[in-house]
Structure 1
């Protein structure tokens, strides 16, 4: 261990870290551009420049060994590795091309009317009530119908998809209480999930069918298309739900920003981007060194795990002016909440569309938005998540 590398006894999966990640993020950033986490024998980066560098350099920092704590070079993954998230070029190029085509902004724009219908229904219901839970009554009520429907899945099974996705994200962390509880809830749905994502179960015209169309073009096998659909569905609900819920929290606690959005609902997209920067739903992901590398002057041996603190990078004062201020007019599009480089989130366009539509509908229908009680975080290994968000609105 080089003597100049700070060695920290910080556990990003511990309860105290989850309770107050921002304090730990500041400590990590101040410690240095590269640190060593003694508990997991892993390297870590928390400043924007180094996180950005690691995420973009797949040749030195690969994803094929797993983007969670587990190192696939040393242990067997619990499921077949994702052809998207856990692969690098050249193997990554064809699956990425298939999914990028199926989920391109142009391809998903045709679902806008249905997303708008679901958003209007969900917003109208909560505005009529006045007081509601932003997580379950608004965001979840909207997404568990709109997202599965767009993919061609049964919209009545959205809560099962949430349970399965919760397991998938939690298992990127260590085998702790959270991952064990998530497995107990999600693993009984494993065979059901595989069946739901099969070609015969998906409605024609949906995003899932668009992925399977690659089989007919000779670009993928049936098995590969199934793996791609499962990856997209697994990642498509939980993180988006958390991202929108945190946006609502920030707008409810920043009256000036809510007033600006209410006056100009076109600010819905910038508000979402700024919330992604401020409270990044995916807090951290791993990469693995393919060879001995030098990063910010630190030499890291080959086949070592490197933890990228995305949430910390997105509040790094070296990159952002006044980073702890929520400003929906900030140009926040270079945040790292969706990753960067060839592994940038392929579903970002649909998440942005879902958020923009819901926030726009709320801004038009509600004159005020404020907290109606204390929020309750949802403990999670990877996601910065909310279980309850009491809100109060008055109709416009």
Structure 2
């Protein structure tokens, strides 16, 4: 038998997907599973994008440019100009195979073996995988459910900075918490990045979906970070087109851009068809985004209000993205999530949630929390919460909690 690398053996399993075999078994038994575990929206992709794919008139599906085709990069530039970042040109963008590849490029561009990135937690679980693949260490700064997962005191970040620190990674608005950073919080991060000459990697893929009249503030709004900022963007959630795998790494720093381009050239090309669809999606006039934002606002309100009505459940109301983190009155949410799929049904239905331990560097911090994605229609969310309430009562009886 061939040897498997230490790198592969140390790659963490996805907390979102490792329960999938149990969900498949439940479905094979005839149980309906409501998927609250993954950020796959049920929102329809814009017709402009779908029609662009249907009407392709190409004789050869050739390589795209390594940095992305100019038509799409021009569409991205116009989009960022609409956000008032009018200094950007197509040369600031590297198109990637999803936001995930953009994050990989960012980490591999900035970090050597044994270097460190600081991340407020809970954080997007795949950050662990991206850093592990490059032998980069995550240094976590915990936030708490009591504050709605606000940015921890900046002093806590400063305590963690060492000679090996290369970047601070944030997701704004956040996955898994839905927290939306304030201008004051972002300014504190900008100041500390400049003080120690490190980079802010700002994952802004949920930028459009913020609520209650709030606006997302990009790290590009801090021009002093021109040499110390990378933005990660993606079309997956903006236009409900996760399968096209189109993201981008954006920076004002020519030094960072040119280094990241070496990785882009090594992997040859971002997805051609995805760029065609994404370019067409950007032809929408904004009505699509407004309608989707309104729908997510309604779903969030329904879900969070119902969750907080369950005895023992604590769920801060997120200001962005389409996730919330809820604390449940159970002993272990990983055990509970598996039990939901293996042992429990209500009228032959159950739910699948993402145990939050996988979103922390120390899983114990999330042992009683779950991430729930409100990517289902209202009727299904209401059914899901009813299932959750019933299952909590039965779980506590079964395990004498």
TM-score in same-fold range (> 0.5): no
